[in-house]
Structure formats: C-alpha cells, structure tokens
Homo-oligomer: A and B are copies of this chain.
Amino acid sequence: MSFELTKPLLDSLRGDVAEGRDSAIQAVLGELHPADVAAMIDRLGLDEAVYVYRLLESETAAEVLIELDEDLREELLNSLTSREIAEDVLEHIDSDDAADVMADLSEDKQREVIALLDDQEQREDIQELLTYAEGTAGALMAKELISVRTDWSVARAIVDMRRQAQKVEHVYTIYVVDKDDRLFGILPLKDLLFNAESTRTLIKHICQTDAVSVTTDTEVDEVVNRMKKYDVVVLPVVDENDVLVGRITFDDVMDVMTEEAEEDYQLASGISEDVDATDSPIVQVRARLPWLLIGLAGGVISSRIIAQYEGQLRIDPAMAFFMPLIAATAGNVGVQSSAIVVQGLASGSMEGVNLLARMWKELRVALITAFVCGSVIFAINFALEQSQALSYTVSIALFTVILTAAMFGTVIPLLLDRMKVDPALATGPFVTTLNDIFGLLTYFTVGHLLYDLLP
C-alpha cells in the first residue's frame, strides 16, 4: 500500500465534487486508507469537505474524522447533528478519540450527544475521560483494554479475553489485576501464545510483575519520556489507588511527540499559535504579529538608547557601523545557550544538575568563544585601519556581550521552567530582543568610557 497525494488527484476530486459525481468519489476514496482520505479532505474547502465526508460509510467516516486537521474537524462537527455524532461517529471510535471529539463540541451539544449514547459503559467512559486535565495521562489514555485476574487460570483467562477482545481493536499486551482491580503485572501476547503452559496454571504465576505504569495525573512529557526510555508499546494508567483505569498506546505518544516538537520549534521561531502552511493568512498573521510587535518595541527601546548616545555617535559616526554586529552576536549566543538548556530539560539530561554548575560550564564555553570572537574582530579592525578607540571598544564590548548573553541564555529558560512556562520561549524573539538591547547598551557604555581614554 502506497499513496501519494498529488495535485492532479486533488483537482480531479474537486472536479467530481463540483459536478456531483458521487459514485466516482466513493470509488476513489473507497480504495484508500482513512488516514489518506483525511489527508485529501484536509486540502478541500469546508463545503467540499462536508460534501465528501457525507459520502463516506459511517465506519470509515468516523476514522477519517479523527485523522482530520483539528480546525477542519471542529468545523465539520458543527455541521453534524447530535444524533449523527452519537450514532455514526462515537459508535465507531475508541474512547480516547471519542473524548477528543467531544472536547470540540459546545457544552450543550456535549450533553445532548451524551444523552443519545445507548451504551452506558461508553457513556461513563467518555464522561470520565473528559474530567482529566489537558496535558495529563488521564486525558490521553483510552479505556479499551483487556485485563485478567491474578487468580484466574489460563483457560478461564482465555475465554474472558476473547469476550473482551471484541471491544479492543489493537491488543499489544494483557493487563493483570488483583481482586480489587489494582495493577499487578502484564502478560504479553507472545508469552500467552508461545510459552506452552498448562491451561490450569494461575495467571499470577506466569505474568511479568515489573510493569512500567503512569498515574492519571502524570504529565504527558513524562509519559513520552517513560515510553521512550523503557521501549514499551503501551503504558497502563492507574489511579491514586493503583487501580487500572486505562492505557496509552505508542501512536498517541507519537502524536504528542510531534506536537511538542512543533510547538518548541514554533516558539523558537516566534510563532505563538499552532499554525500550519495550510492555515489562512489571517490565522498566520495572528500567530506571528505579536512577536513582531515585541521585536518592534525592542527596536524602539534600542533607538532610544542609541539616541542617548547621539553625542558619542557625533564624536565617531563609525561606532554606528558595528551596532548590528554587536546586537546579532548577542542574539546568536543567547539563542545557542538557551537551546542547550531547553534540550537538556526536555531529554532529562539536566536532571540532578544545579543552576550554578550549569552556569559555570556555560561560562567556560562563553569565555573561549568570547576570546576567539573578540580577537578575530580586533584583527579585522586592525586590518581595516579603524581607530584604536573603536577597535578596543568593539572587541571589549563583544567579549562582554558574549558572556552576558550566555548567562542570560542559560538562566532564563531555567527560570521559565521553574515558573512552569515552556522554556522553549527563551529561544524565541523575546529573549533575542532583550539581548539586542542589552548588547547595544554595553557597546555604548564601553565606547563612552574608552573614547575618553584612547586616541
């Protein structure tokens, strides 16, 4: 199976929609995986998307819906009645996806949909999942899992598993619980299939008891780290009493990883909302303009600082030549230092490292870089036959600015992290702007002092 989304394919689908060739659309999309159908619908306008969506069989439609781009999904859901959502969508998807769909609805519509669900267990599952705070294991988990009791025999367990398996599409492991439903261990399918045991053996004697688990309030970052670290395909989730309440599968964790990487990258690039190349210009402007305005404010502050030193610029207009160099280097160093801290925090490699130790290490890096950069620029200015005062000013200011930018860059993300703000913010325009301002201030202060001393 291999599918490539091409422009001709999209154009032909659009043509079919415009001409109302329903059976052609159904024939084309019927061949595809729901994820590929979703990728195509993502490219259509809302009206076209709704039209195509309504042509899909309800089981496929539900799977397509949960794969759609979030914005489009929300709009599409608004075009469905509560009954359609309850009977055609929620019937066919897992509880975690169902909770995601519900979260897109208004509270009134949520109540209506819930009331229309026939299956009481499903109703309770969805309601429970909606109670967990976003960003926790509880909000990410699904209720569908297969569990057996420690005191069951293999034979009894297999009978019960068959029954349970009808509700669980993908089974990776069987969970073992005690009589109070507390997680006791796991039983990988492989062990059950290939380790020939007597069917009278008790489950507790053959299961693995060192299962990695998380609690409903574990943060998703920790969920990701634990799954990656221990290479487990599905994590059991327990409540505060150790009772097994759900499971988180690798695919949901991969989605979280992608979202988090995108978020960090966007924060570092000065984009504040989750936007995509396919979003409308207005949405993109909304995500980007605030950062540009912060940068602009920084620029205005810089202009005021420089204005204070207008006298200095009249003494030597050549001082203006090196302002961009100072500001840019301050920004670059600050971003580098922050990036190393941000990644260290994300990967956990900074666990058990204290602030001062981190700063001392960064200071050593900064001292070497500052010395090299200061010397290089001094040599260049010597070659360019700049005045002694200007050459010393530029090199000394550059040296100082690299050290301070490195310290800012190290401290700010650590502080943000302690304040429970995403430290990736520190690699974005906000901190670059701060470093720009501070760099120029340093430059003119040094210049002001040195021009009195040197020829």
Which B residues are in CB contact (< 8 Å) with A270? Answer: 332, 335-336, 339
8 Å CB contact of A324 from B276, B318, B323, B329: B323
Q: Identify the stretch in A18-26, A48-56, A351-359 within 8 Å (CB) of chain B at 4 or more residues.
A: A351-359
Residue A206 at the chain B interface, CB threshold 8 Å? no
A145 → chain B closest CB, angstroms: 12
Q: Quick one: closest B residue to A260, CB to CB? A: B261
The secondary structure that dominates the A interface is helix
Given the contacts A233-B250, A293-B373, A281 and B162 also touching, CB distance less than 8 Å: no
Given the contacts A10-B352, A261-B257, A332-B429, A271 and B340 also touching, CB distance less than 8 Å: yes
Q: Identify the stretch in A101-109, A116-124, A309-317 within 8 Å (CB) of chain B at 4 or more residues.
A: A309-317
Question: Looking at A162, A321, A339, which has the most chain B CB atoms within 10 Å of its CB?
Answer: A321
Interface residues on A, range: 35 or more
Residue A172 at the chain B interface, CB threshold 8 Å? yes
Residue A241 at the chain B interface, CB threshold 8 Å? no
A6 → chain B closest CB, angstroms: 5
Residue A298 at the chain B interface, CB threshold 8 Å? yes
Q: Are B303 and A325 in contact (CB under 8 A)?
A: yes
Residue A81 at the chain B interface, CB threshold 8 Å? no
- Alpha-carbon distance between A268 and B265 when the two chains are bound, in angstroms: 8
A and B contact pairs by CB, cutoff 8 A, 12 listed: A7-B352, A7-B353, A43-B352, A228-B255, A228-B258, A265-B343, A276-B343, A277-B353, A281-B361, A291-B332, A296-B373, A313-B313
